[in-house]
Amino acid sequence: MSAIYKSGQGYWVRTMSAYGLGAVVALGLAWLWKEFEGVTLFGLEPTYVRVGIMLLTAIVFGWVGWMIIGTRRRTVEFLIATEGEMRKVNWSSRREIELSTRAVIGLTILIALYCWVFDIVFASIFRWMTVLRTG
């Protein structure tokens, strides 16, 4: 088996990428479990067939993930560079995020009210012009 390329670098990005891949594979395995309900191959019990297919799929995708996240040079270089860039990011404080969120919610409410009033005004004008029917 191939050794991990630049094993000491990009630990968190690789770990989270592996978790993400694992979550996607787990959801796919849950889907496969339902898809192969009642399927028999070579006279085997359906449960054995389902478990075998799931194990084979998990092994294949685990190996592909290992090759991509752990040993493929271009991907690993990208992940290491990504982690380096993420360390340079100036993350907002909790207070800044709360104030920004309140501003967005407030402006959204104001714009919704403006649109609602505009709708009422134009609906009244169109009813007066008999373009819209009352009722």
Residue 58, pLDDT score: 94
Between CA 3 and CA 81 the distance in angstroms is 20
Copy the structure tokens of residue 37.
Answer: 């309900």
Mean pLDDT value of segment 32-38: 85
Between CA 54 and CA 86 the distance in angstroms is 36
pLDDT band at 44 (very low <50, low <70, confident <90, very high): confident
Q: How many residues does the chain have?
A: 135
More confident position, 104 or 14: 104
- State pTM to two decimals: 0.59
Residue 1, pLDDT score: 56
Between CA 49 and CA 46 the distance in angstroms is 5
Copy the structure tokens of residue 65.
Answer: 């993930």
Between CA 57 and CA 36 the distance in angstroms is 13
Residue 3, pLDDT score: 77
Per the listing, tokens 């990005």 go with 13
Residue 26, pLDDT score: 94
Residue 3 CB partners (closer than 8 Å, separation 6+): 71
Residue 70, pLDDT score: 83
